[in-house]
Amino acid sequence: MSCGHPAAYDGTPGEELTAEDWESPWLAITVANAAESVGVGQRAMEMAVAYAKERTQFDRPIGSYQAVSHPCAQMLLEVEGARAAVYWAAWALDHEPETAPVAASMAKAYAADAGRRVTSAALQVHGGIGFTWEHDLHFLLKRAHANARMYGDAAWHRGRVAALSL
């Protein structure tokens, strides 16, 4: 009988876990997921800005055009806002546990939305090359969309913030 087989655990003492036992690890995982979304957004933004500086159109870098520079500036705003929310949530996990549920949900909701929006904007800056197999941006876009759905989507977390704030 292998160790992973359920019968291998017959007679093993155990105790039932309550919702309170799961809350702290779940909050930490949620904040870690939000932090990953910030990193994904950061990297996508860096790639978009670098591409906007090197790609030229009409003998000028495309980043010199408002249609490209404004979305890049918005990416920075989104990434830094999400980073601040994640820092607060991580701090709350360690120093203010009573605030941690609200902080974690706020960070997750903001970072999930920011990750999706930033990677989508980065794809627009790159044009068609950004979603080809030869370019890594598509990995970030897919990861941002996956992160946005893991451990509750942004709408669920916003509802949780509203419920916890009552």
Q: Domain with 77 in it: what CATH number?
A: 1.20.140.10
Residue 148 lies in a domain: yes
The span from the CA of 39 to the CA of 82, in Å, is 10
Residue 59 lies in a domain: yes
Average pLDDT along the chain: 93
Banded pLDDT at 3 (limits 50, 70, 90): low
- The answer to whether 37 touches 114, Cβ cutoff 8 Å, is yes
Residue 106 lies in a domain: yes
Residue 2 lies in a domain: no
- Global pTM? 0.88
Residue 113 lies in a domain: yes
Residue 155 lies in a domain: yes
25 pLDDT higher than 50: yes
The span from the CA of 76 to the CA of 46, in Å, is 9
Which domain range does residue 161 map to?
Answer: 20-165
Count of domains in the chain?
1
The span from the CA of 136 to the CA of 68, in Å, is 20
